[in-house]
């Protein structure tokens, strides 16, 4: 984002995998601990029961992610990763970082994220002609964008 902004390109597309957070070891530990609690639950009840590291990670997360982590579980008691707004979390973390860089004078661009969840749309049924044309256009555009 910073390199593109230096070139005057304050636009782009980022695809974030639904299971990204589960691939981060610290977050995976937090998820494992949370799966031991009955859900839905509240922050006040869960936070004192977490290990020191998981509690610190949980506190550092935005409120909307904290609430999503405490929602009803899947039938197998696993966390519903598709219910976590990973895109919003990443956008917020990047935005915070870019604000810090702007204060230091190392970032001069702009950042206005627009998040779009495509999880269910991407796997529910056979693609229509529109879906195929749309995906083709997106892929072609992404390939030619510098």
For 51-72, the pLDDT digits (tens) are 999 999 999 999 999 999 998 8
Q: Mind listing the pLDDT tens digit for each residue in 70-126?
A: 988 877 777 888 888 999 999 999 999 999 999 999 999 999 998 887 766 666 677
Q: Mind listing the pLDDT tens digit for each residue in 29-50?
A: 999 999 888 888 899 999 999 9
Dump strand ranges (E) for the chain.
Answer: none
pLDDT over 80 at 127, yes or no? no
pLDDT at residue 38 in the model: 85
Cβ contact 46:70 at 8 Å: yes
Average pLDDT over residues 8-22: 85
pLDDT over 90 at 16, yes or no? no
pLDDT at residue 120 in the model: 63
Q: Which two tokens stand for residue 136?
A: 């083709």
pLDDT at residue 121 in the model: 62
* pTM of the predicted structure, to 2 decimals: 0.73
Residue 141 CA neighbour count, 13 Å, CB half:
9
Using DSSP's 3-state secondary structure scheme, residue 90 falls into helix
């Amino acid at each position: 984002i910073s390199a593109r902004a230096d070139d005057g390109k304050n636009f782009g597309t980022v695809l974030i995998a639904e299971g990204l957070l589960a691939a981060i070891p610290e977050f995976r530990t937090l998820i494992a601990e949370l799966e031991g609690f009955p859900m839905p639950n509240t922050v006040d009840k869960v936070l004192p029961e977490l290990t020191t590291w998981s509690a610190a990670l949980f506190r550092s997360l935005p409120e909307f992610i904290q609430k999503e982590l405490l929602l009803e579980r899947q039938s197998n008691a696993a966390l519903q990763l598709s219910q976590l707004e990973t895109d919003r979390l990443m956008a917020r973390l990047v935005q915070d970082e870019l604000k810090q860089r702007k204060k230091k004078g190392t970032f001069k661009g702009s950042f206005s994220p627009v998040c779009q969840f495509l999880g269910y749309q991407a796997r529910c049924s056979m693609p229509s002609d529109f879906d195929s044309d749309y995906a083709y256009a997106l892929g072609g555009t992404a390939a030619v964008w510098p």
